[in-house]
Structure 1
Amino acid sequence: MASTTSPSSQVFAPLQNDLILRAARGEKTERVPVWLMRQAGRYLPEYHEAKGNTKFFDTCKNPQLVCELTIQPVRRFNLDAAIIFSDILVIPVAMGLTVANDPGHGPVYADPVTCPEDLKRLSADFDIVSELGYVYEAITLTRQKLNGKVPLFGFTGAPWTLMKFMIENVSAGPNPNKARRFLVEHPEASHQLLGMLKDAVTRHLVHQIKAGAQIVQVFDSFAGELGPSLFSKFELPILRQIAKGVKEQLKEMNIDPVPMVVFAKDAHFAIEELSKSGYDVVGLDWCTQPLHARKLAGTVTLQGNLDPVMMYATKDEIKCAVKEMLKKFGTQRYIANLGHGVLKDTNPDHVGVFIDAIHTYSEDMNTGS
């Protein structure tokens, strides 16, 4: 297997399994690699045992505990990547918003953004190492503990998704349209806020890669609700700038680039544009038709997209769903995943069936058996 050049002062073990990195780059793979969004988390009994009563953000700020939680699913399953245990909301907090309650019970800000004047309260040029150094420390530690077994994902929330949380206090209760209304009523302030978030996201990704992340994903969990017009006007240019900015900053630092994944949930209207936005991989939710996505995406690698509720199906039904998914996506330029995160009451044994089926059936397809 290929080894990777260390992006930091740390010397990391050679990589034993580079399937995901090869798939992301469009190189031939002997089987389809698989990982899961939210693969480290509440559905695993060992997660609850290790976390105990520690609050969510306190957990995120504990590198040793983050390392343990990140590696737990890699120990249990034959996964092809680990993803650092963290949260997309670390950036708004670093910029100055105050969390009123623990995100483990739903993130709610004490001081959400309600008008353009509120942007003055936000720190655009915060000291990223001082504010988010715990993430980077956890990445370096986890990369060391993985000892080259599989690559390590870093991640961030996309600017629009972060903006929505900052304005709507999503978990405080239904408040649809408030963030989209802000875009329409205050377009100049919206561009300003998205630009601030874009800069923070770019820096956050670069520091994660510098710390040891070997592939990164940008989660735009609420992209679809923008629709084609607002998405093209406000978010798509920002996503492009993030991909470009990360690569440029890494080049300036003499750090090798890593594959980048964009996951814009429900933005089915933008698959073609996203495939040309500078990312190596386009993630798909479960409402996307694989064959249609292939036609639109060209040669870019695709990731996804089994409905997470299929993990509640019987094991045989999960295997059948995997076969059907692989037939439609094919076995090359493809990374298997769910169409969103693992649901918290999912049976871990069913997750194992899904992962093993991906490997078994894709190997059979590649050998023609």
Structure 2
Amino acid sequence: MLRRQGGVADSRGVTATPPPGAVDTEPTSPFLRACLGLPVERTPVWLLRQAGRYMPEYRALREQHSMLELIRSPELAAQVTRMPVDAFGVDAAIVFSDILPTLVGMGLELDFVDGDGPRIGNPIASPRDVDLLGAPPAEETMSGTLGAIRLVRAELESRDVPVIGFAGAPFTLASYAIEGGTSKDFSRTKAFMLSEPAAWKRLLTKLATVQADYLLAQARAGAQALQVFDSWAGRALGREDYLRYVAPHNRELYAAVARAGVPVINFSLGVSAYLPEAAACGGDVVGLDWQLPLDEAWHTVGFDRPVQGNLDPAALLAPWRELRARIDDVLDRADGRPGHVFNVGHGLVPQTPVDNVRRLVEHVRERTSV
């Protein structure tokens, strides 16, 4: 859990000065205050995939640059990161990147195919493939994202808009690495997990180590909060397999990242059947998808734990009257408790009307202002 005071131990156990992103005990940012469970003047709001294809200015950039070009350029990534802050006044800026580029540094070949999603050119198919994976420092392999964080932090500091860094959870990254891209049934991943348990353990341990290093590097670069995305474990695995094959590695990751000195958000998609177990893996804030009502999910993890969520992103495709009612339902279920960050329960889709995003942010701000 978050350490609000004191030094930060590096990988050698040496205590060092807290990173630039380290949070003080009384931040003024509504987002950071909510992440710490402190009272706020209004409910903070930001949105998963808030900088994306639904924005005309983003689409204009994508006509000129590939996805990887945007991610690897600090200036371009910073420009995209700022877009929703400038357009809508959201309360936090999540750095523009993706969970997959860290796999490139490990030795996998990544490309983003328009209309078809990410593709791994040399997917993992054997224990030997696992053993060949490297684990270079994030400063060497993810310099573009780290540079973008530094730029955005400097640009948004005066506006009291924190920067969020992020990474993928071990199972989600393993599924991409084994399937070679997205999957409907995760059959290759589960076959590898069940038939090669020792290699599976080595793979997830290596992924947890690389992601922890990357998250800590983002905090050192100036990220004031961190989020871990576990997008696929909840969709692929039942409770017992999750506890046996995934949870130990998630706990490793969160334990390592706890020393960053910033709030860590644990976002696991589709884990309603074992939400307490997923939340118990670690993190300061529990990111909730839309599958359970907010009050029920919050009660499940404990009202003393800050939560983030949990509007169905498809609600933004509805007419404003229906969208407003659903926003109000989430806020009513939060009931003014400290520790709520308003968000969607998964990423915004490309068809999302820009005006609905604007009206959502304005409505949350107006509805919850003291």
Q: Same fold (TM over 0.5)?
A: yes
1:146 lines up with 2:156 in the alignment: yes
Letter aligned with residue 296 of structure 1: T
Q: Deviations over 1:117-159 (max 9, x none)?
A: 2113211x31321111121111101111113320000000100
The separation in 1 between residues aligned to 2:349 and 2:20, in whole angstroms, is: 37
- SS for the counterpart of 2:343 is strand
- SS for the counterpart of 1:282 is strand
Letter aligned with residue 310 of structure 1: A
1:350 lines up with 2:321 in the alignment: no
Aligned counterpart, 1:253? none
* Cα distance change of structure 1 residues 247 and 104 upon mapping to structure 2, 3 Å threshold: farther
The separation in 2 between residues aligned to 1:148 and 1:164, in whole angstroms, is: 40
Aligned counterpart, 1:281? 285
The separation in 1 between residues aligned to 2:245 and 2:288, in whole angstroms, is: 21
- SS for the counterpart of 2:254 is helix
Aligned counterpart, 1:312? 317
Structure 1 segment 174-253 matched on structure 2, within 5 A: 174=184, 176-224=186-234, 225-248=236-259, 250=260
The separation in 2 between residues aligned to 1:290 and 1:272, in whole angstroms, is: 14
Contact 2:120 2:181 (C-alpha < 8 Å) held by counterparts: no
The separation in 2 between residues aligned to 1:100 and 1:212, in whole angstroms, is: 28
After TM superposition, give the deviation of residue 304 of structure 1 in Å.
0.9
Letter aligned with residue 52 of structure 1: E
The separation in 2 between residues aligned to 1:9 and 1:353, in whole angstroms, is: 33
1:89 lines up with 2:132 in the alignment: no
Aligned counterpart, 1:155? 166
With 30-39 and 228-237 compared, the bigger mean Cα shift is at 228-237
The separation in 2 between residues aligned to 1:38 and 1:239, in whole angstroms, is: 23
The separation in 2 between residues aligned to 1:158 and 1:97, in whole angstroms, is: 17
Contact 1:61 1:135 (C-alpha < 8 Å) held by counterparts: yes
- SS for the counterpart of 2:364 is helix
The separation in 2 between residues aligned to 1:166 and 1:143, in whole angstroms, is: 31
Q: Deviations over 1:5-29 (max 9, x none)?
A: 996579xxxx995111111111111
1:291 lines up with 2:295 in the alignment: yes
Letter aligned with residue 343 of structure 2: N
The separation in 1 between residues aligned to 2:310 and 2:297, in whole angstroms, is: 11
The separation in 2 between residues aligned to 1:43 and 1:219, in whole angstroms, is: 21
Scaled by the length of structure 2, the TM-score of the pair is 0.89
Superposed CA RMSD in Å reads 2.3
The separation in 1 between residues aligned to 2:293 and 2:127, in whole angstroms, is: 39
After TM superposition, give the deviation of residue 106 of structure 1 in Å.
1.1
After TM superposition, give the deviation of residue 51 of structure 1 in Å.
3.6
Contact 2:175 2:186 (C-alpha < 8 Å) held by counterparts: no
- SS for the counterpart of 2:237 is helix
* Cα distance change of structure 1 residues 216 and 28 upon mapping to structure 2, 3 Å threshold: same
Aligned counterpart, 1:19? 30
Q: Extract unaligned runs of 5+ from structure 1.
A: 251-256
Contact 2:67 2:112 (C-alpha < 8 Å) held by counterparts: no
The separation in 1 between residues aligned to 2:35 and 2:280, in whole angstroms, is: 14
The separation in 1 between residues aligned to 2:364 and 2:112, in whole angstroms, is: 39
Letter aligned with residue 363 of structure 2: A
Letter aligned with residue 352 of structure 2: T
Scaled by the length of structure 1, the TM-score of the pair is 0.89
Aligned counterpart, 2:11? none
Contact 1:40 1:85 (C-alpha < 8 Å) held by counterparts: yes
- SS for the counterpart of 1:153 is strand
Aligned counterpart, 1:119? 130
1:48 lines up with 2:53 in the alignment: no
Identity in percent: 33
The separation in 1 between residues aligned to 2:272 and 2:279, in whole angstroms, is: 12
* Cα distance change of structure 1 residues 208 and 87 upon mapping to structure 2, 3 Å threshold: same
With 323-332 and 58-67 compared, the bigger mean Cα shift is at 323-332
After TM superposition, give the deviation of residue 78 of structure 1 in Å.
2.1
- SS for the counterpart of 1:93 is helix
Contact 1:51 1:65 (C-alpha < 8 Å) held by counterparts: no
The separation in 2 between residues aligned to 1:103 and 1:258, in whole angstroms, is: 35
The separation in 2 between residues aligned to 1:152 and 1:101, in whole angstroms, is: 25
Q: Extract unaligned runs of 5+ from structure 2.
A: 7-16
- SS for the counterpart of 1:107 is strand
The separation in 2 between residues aligned to 1:335 and 1:167, in whole angstroms, is: 34
After TM superposition, give the deviation of residue 105 of structure 1 in Å.
4.2
- SS for the counterpart of 1:112 is coil
- SS for the counterpart of 1:323 is helix
After TM superposition, give the deviation of residue 175 of structure 1 in Å.
5.5
